[in-house]
Amino acid sequence: MDLDTYKKIFSEEDAVGWDVIDEVVDALYPNQEPTHYAPDFPASLGGDSYLDGISVYQSDKQEPHFHFVTYGFSNLYYDEKSAGGDYSGFGFELTFRLKKTGDKNVTWAINFLQNIAKYVFTSGNYFEPYHVFPANSPIRLDYNTELIAVAFVLDPELGEIETPHGTVQFLQAVGITSQEFQMLKKDFSIGKVEELMGHLRKDNPLLITDLDRK
C-alpha cells in the first residue's frame, strides 16, 4: 500500500494494525468476546509492560484450552512512515495455547508473555519460527511443571497476515520440558527444533501447552 492510498483510507484516530489483527482473530472466534488484559502502567509511561494488550479466547478445538493473542510487537497504530513496509514492527505477534485444568488462573501466562516482550524490546532481538526462548526457570513459578522454555512456531490457525504496515506472523509459544531443552542445547538449529515440534504434533496438532506434560 503506497502512502497516498494509506492517507486516503486511514486517519490518525485509526488503530490500523490492531484492527487487522482483530478482524483475523474475530473470524476464528465469531461472536466471542475475549477477556482482554491491558497494562495499568505501560512501558511508555515508565512501567515494565511492553505490550499494549493481550486477549484470551476460549477454544474447544482438539481439547479445551485458552488461546492468547498479543498486541504490541507489530505496529498497531496510524503511522505514515510504516505504510507499505515489508514487516510491521518486529514482524510478529505472539500466541499461546494453554490446556484448561481445574486451575483457571491465567495471570502467570500474561506475565510470561510480557516478560518475553520485555526481552524483545530491551534487547532488540526478535523471533522467527523454530527459535527457542529459555525461561531460566519453570515457565510458571508457582506450579510444579517441567516446562522451562518455549519454542516458536507459526500458529496453526492464524498463520501469517498482511497489514497496511507489512507482514505479521502469529508466532505460537510452545512449552518444552527441561529434558527437551537439554537435548536442543546440543544443537539449536532450526532443523532440530522443527524435528521436536513435528514429534509433538503427532499427538498434539495444535501444540497446546500442558503444564503437566513430562
pLDDT tens-place string over residues 118-177: 999 999 999 999 999 999 899 999 899 999 999 999 999 999 999 999 999 999 999 999
CA angle 213, 117, 36 (to 5 degrees): 80
Is residue 206 classed as helix, strand or coil in its secondary structure? coil
The amino acid that residue 89 corresponds to is: G
Cβ atoms within 10 A of the Cβ of 56, count?
17
What are the backbone angles phi and psi of residue 121, rounded to the nearest 5°? -70, -30
Q: What is the pLDDT of residues 182-203, one digit of tens each?
A: 999 988 899 999 999 999 999 9
The average confidence (pLDDT) of the chain is 96
Residue type, 37: Y
Query: Above 90 in pLDDT, residue 44?
Result: no
Query: Hey, what's the cell of 205?
Result: 496438532
Cell numbers standing for residue 180: 527437551
Do 163 and 147 contact (CB within 8 A), yes or no? no
8 Å CB contact between 127 and 159: no
